[in-house]
Amino acid sequence: MAAESAHRSPTFSAKPPEAAVLSTMQDVPLLISRILTHGSTIHGGSQVITWTGEGAPQRRSFAEIGSRAAQLAHALHDDLGVRGDDRVATLMWNNAEHVEAYFAVPSMGAVLHTLNLRLPANQLAWIVGHASDRVIIANGSLLPLLGPLLPHLPGVEHVVVSGPGDRSVLEGASARVHEYEELLAGKPTTYDWPELDELQAAAMCYTSGTTGDPKGVVYSHRSVYLHSMQVNMAQSMGLTDADTSLVVVPQFHVNAWGLPHATFMTGVNMLMPDRFLQPGPLAEMIEAERPTHAAAVPTIWQGLLAELTAKPRDVSSLTQVTIGGSACPPALMAAFDELGMRVCHAWGMTETSPLGTIARPPAHAVGTDEEFAYRLTQGRFPAGVEARLSGPGGERLPWDGESAGELEVRGPWIAGAYFGGTDGEAFRPEDKFSADGWLKTGDVGTISHDGFLTLTDRAKDVIKSGGEWISSVDLENALMAHPDVAEAAVVAVPDDKWGERPLATVVLKEGATADFETLRAFLAERVAKWQLPERWTVIPAVPKTSVGKFDKKVIRKQYASGELDVTQI
Ligand code: ADP
């Protein structure tokens, strides 16, 4: 596979050219199989608990996951002929079988490709073809999606089906169809995991295309290993084997923020929601299984908050909530604080594995008035992520908490290129990588002298009004603090006088009475007057992308085509 290895020689034991003194340390490659072996032995009693919707949840120990991952690897090798860096895709919810695939596929040397089940069918077909997936492991409940897609996936030779769901949609498929449990049955429960090069491809994930075409990011064993260690640091998520983490963030979205790997390093139990991602079932599983930690994008938490307000439940076990993927609205953080769930805000991207920053306030701020402000930032860079800000002319900007520029990052778990397809070269578009190899994130913000990142916007969402920049996120956060507002999205629209001006699209809570004048007056107390939107509209719901982020492309299109009923004030 056309792996990008320009940053470093793939021979990890290379002798430095003129070194007088060689390191005397052992040269043990950082492999996913080592994480699996560690987790399934040292933490063999920890559990992956999968919600089933009715009856008892399914419980599987890390030791069982280890045995079953070995069985899956044998099945893929012996029965399906998976060899070398073949791509094995998953079309699955978060569940124990998905964790088994997470470990089996890379550990045997193949490449795990997690497919985003919320993508439109044509994009999914393109991605499967681009990645040259040979095998798809799919949940039975997702066959209505996969069935009609299969005729458009000529490279897929095998489909392995796991869990409940009608198989008849696959009848007549040219790919061979297998039952997951039948494949595993009787296979040896250990596997002689190969000693791979740590820079070898382990897993791949395509960006969700919020701001452009999907692009493939290929993680190495080494990048996954180092990223997992970082997730486990006390100043990061810092979980231990006393914790149970409710992993709502999908396994198809940037490795579920690294949690499946990180938990196997430390024995954290995982509570997996499978397909039960609605606020009701989430509240129910929190009450029943008492997780101590949870991770998801703000949209999920907005839904849960509304659910808990309507129907209070005992969620007292849940004391730590990691929120990322989009900016966490301050009102949401405050509401969760009230419920005793402490929000920890984090920033990252598909290209950054994803954890790039996490907002744990510095010790001197804890318990002071400054603490909440620190928690609202996107957070601090961990060791391993270097950052710099680039101004409009490419100049470096100071870390003064005021100078806003595009964030660029570099580090061992940050992408240095995109996957070019099996026959193509890895590529580095100029708008995504600097000449000296840093990732241009497309995110605009400031960095304080103590290394806390505050994002003001995505470069493509910033409103450029008469030579000044208006942050759409600031306006949204201010609007969402109003008690009548359920959600608000602000986008730039063309304006004859100013170039661009903000359009406020607002989702009102049920029974809310606030009118635009009231909302505008509310905003006027929180942002500069020249930033106040003149254009307003009420919408039934903010359009969302496949991973639950505000889809501003859709709102801009709706505005341009005159679909929105806009009031000028
Ligand atoms: P896509 O780029 O397709 O949306 P990603 O999941 O890779 O898919 O999204 C990464 C982007 O999400 C970041 O570049 C940033 O704009 C946004 N993002 C992630 N976390 C945060 C956060 N805590 N605050 C604000 N924006 C965030």
Residue 550 CB less than 6 A away from ligand 1 = no
Residue 456 CB less than 6 A away from ligand 1 = no
User: Which pair of structure tokens corresponds to residue 429?
Assistant: 């578009």
Query: Measured in angstroms, how far is the CA atom of residue 347 from the centroid of ligand 1?
Result: 7
* pLDDT higher than threshold 50 for residue 255: yes
Q: What pLDDT, on the 0 to 100 scale, is given for residue 115? A: 97
Is residue 207 among the annotated active site residues?
Answer: yes
Is residue 347 among the annotated active site residues?
Answer: no
* Tens of pLDDT, residues 121-158: 888 999 999 999 999 999 999 999 999 999 999 999 99
Q: Are 345 and 377 in contact (CB under 8 A)?
A: yes
Going by alpha carbons, the residue nearest to atom 2 of ligand 1 is 210
Query: Measured in angstroms, how far is the CA atom of residue 301 from the centroid of ligand 1?
Result: 16
Atom of ligand 1 nearest to the CA of 254: 6
Residue 324 CB less than 6 A away from ligand 1 = yes
Q: What pLDDT, on the 0 to 100 scale, is given for residue 14? A: 54
At residue 15 the predicted structure's pLDDT band, cuts being 50, 70 and 90, is low
Question: Above pLDDT 90, what percent of the chain?
Answer: 84
* Tens of pLDDT, residues 457-508: 887 888 988 877 788 988 999 999 999 999 999 999 999 888 899 999 999 9
Q: List all residues 6 or more positions away from 116 whose beta carbon is below 8 Å from its beta carbon.
A: 124, 206, 208, 250, 252, 253, 546, 547
Grouping H, G, I as helix, E, B as strand and the rest as coil, residue 556 is: helix
Q: What pLDDT, on the 0 to 100 scale, is given for residue 423? A: 83
At residue 16 the predicted structure's pLDDT band, cuts being 50, 70 and 90, is low
- Report the C-alpha gap between 453 and 210 in whole angstroms: 21
Marked catalytic residue, from 41, 464, 517, 557: 464
Query: Measured in angstroms, how far is the CA atom of residue 326 from the centroid of ligand 1?
Result: 5
* Tens of pLDDT, residues 395-417: 999 999 999 999 999 999 999 99
* Tens of pLDDT, residues 314-343: 999 999 999 999 999 999 999 999 999 999
- C-alpha distances in Å from residue 473, one per residue of 207, 314, 340, 404, 514: 21, 32, 26, 14, 21
Query: Measured in angstroms, how far is the CA atom of residue 354 from the centroid of ligand 1?
Result: 9
Q: Are 339 and 306 in contact (CB under 8 A)?
A: no
Marked catalytic residue, from 211, 469, 498, 509: 469
Q: What pLDDT, on the 0 to 100 scale, is given for residue 464? A: 82
- Report the C-alpha gap between 514 and 519 in whole angstroms: 7
Residue 352 CB less than 6 A away from ligand 1 = no
Strand 379-380, strand 386-390: pairing: unpaired
Query: Measured in angstroms, how far is the CA atom of residue 192 from the centroid of ligand 1?
Result: 38
Mean pLDDT over each residue of the chain, to the nearest integer: 93
Question: Above pLDDT 70, what percent of the chain?
Answer: 96
Residue 559 CB less than 6 A away from ligand 1 = no
Atom of ligand 1 nearest to the CA of 357: 23
Residue 375 CB less than 6 A away from ligand 1 = no
Query: Measured in angstroms, how far is the CA atom of residue 453 from the centroid of ligand 1?
Result: 13
* pLDDT higher than threshold 90 for residue 513: no
- Report the C-alpha gap between 23 and 32 in whole angstroms: 24
Query: Measured in angstroms, how far is the CA atom of residue 146 from the centroid of ligand 1?
Result: 27
Is residue 351 among the annotated active site residues?
Answer: yes
The helices-and-strands tally (H runs, E runs) of the chain is: 16, 27
Q: Are 297 and 354 in contact (CB under 8 A)?
A: no
Angle between helices 96-107 and 32-41 (to 10 degrees): 130
Going by alpha carbons, the residue nearest to atom 11 of ligand 1 is 349
Q: What pLDDT, on the 0 to 100 scale, is given for residue 7? A: 44
* Tens of pLDDT, residues 29-84: 999 999 999 999 999 999 999 999 989 999 999 999 999 999 999 999 999 999 99
Residue 222 CB less than 6 A away from ligand 1 = no
Is residue 422 among the annotated active site residues?
Answer: no
Q: What pLDDT, on the 0 to 100 scale, is given for residue 122? A: 86
Q: What pLDDT, on the 0 to 100 scale, is given for residue 462? A: 84
User: DSSP letters along 323-358, please?
Assistant: E-SSPPPHHHHHHHHHTT-EEEEEEE-GGGSSEEEE
Going by alpha carbons, the residue nearest to atom 25 of ligand 1 is 327
Residue 350 CB less than 6 A away from ligand 1 = yes
Marked catalytic residue, from 114, 207, 210, 350: 207
What's the rounded mean pLDDT across residues 81-97? 98
pTM: 0.88
At residue 530 the predicted structure's pLDDT band, cuts being 50, 70 and 90, is confident
Domains of the chain as residue ranges with CATH:
462-568 (3.30.300.30)
